[in-house]
Structure 1
Amino acid sequence: MPMAANEIETLIRAALPDASVTIEDLAGDGDHYACKVVSEAFRGRSRLQQHQMIYAALQGHMGGTLHALALQTNAPAA
């Protein structure tokens, strides 16, 4: 069963309450998304660490319920 974009956003916002989250369904199938997340929590962290924070927020759904997620993460502009 595909994962709804709003469910992805809810999980990310639960872990990063200040986050600005934009999600695009790339294939229209609920399995392939592009996601842009901007959060102050990313400041000073490597891109790998930022992505690990998102994967942790998704609570194991990545690779299972959620097949593909293209991530773009950033701290807010200074």
Structure 2
Amino acid sequence: MAISSQKLENIIREHFPNALIKITDLAGDQDHYSLEITDSKFQGLNILAQHRMVKAALSNILDKELHALTIKTKIPN
């Protein structure tokens, strides 16, 4: 399993076109990433709902091309 950070960002950008996205490859293996995403779509949602939105956007690659993902969601100031 592996996915480039660019492909990962492209998939996220399809669902969150106005988001600020920061992706970090944690192990250098294109399989373990940290994602920080800031988007106004998260306004009014609790952290669990925010993470569910992100996971839904990535549902086609989770456990297929992407082994591990740490998610941090933020709302713009």
Larger CA deviation: 55-64 vs 45-54: 55-64
Matched, 1:45 2:11: no
For residues 10-49 of structure 1, the C-alpha deviation after alignment (integer angstroms, 9 at most, x for no partner) is 1111101111100000000000000100000001111111
Matching of residues 1-78 of structure 1 within 5 Å: 1-77=1-77
Query: What's the C-alpha RMSD, in Å, of the aligned pairs?
Result: 0.9
The alignment partner of 2:49 has SS state of helix
Query: 4+ runs of 1 displaced by more than 4 Å?
Result: none
For residues 33-78 of structure 1, the C-alpha deviation after alignment (integer angstroms, 9 at most, x for no partner) is 001000000011111111111111113211221000000001101x
Gaps of 5+ in 1: none
The alignment partner of 1:66 has SS state of coil
Larger CA deviation: 40-49 vs 50-59: 50-59
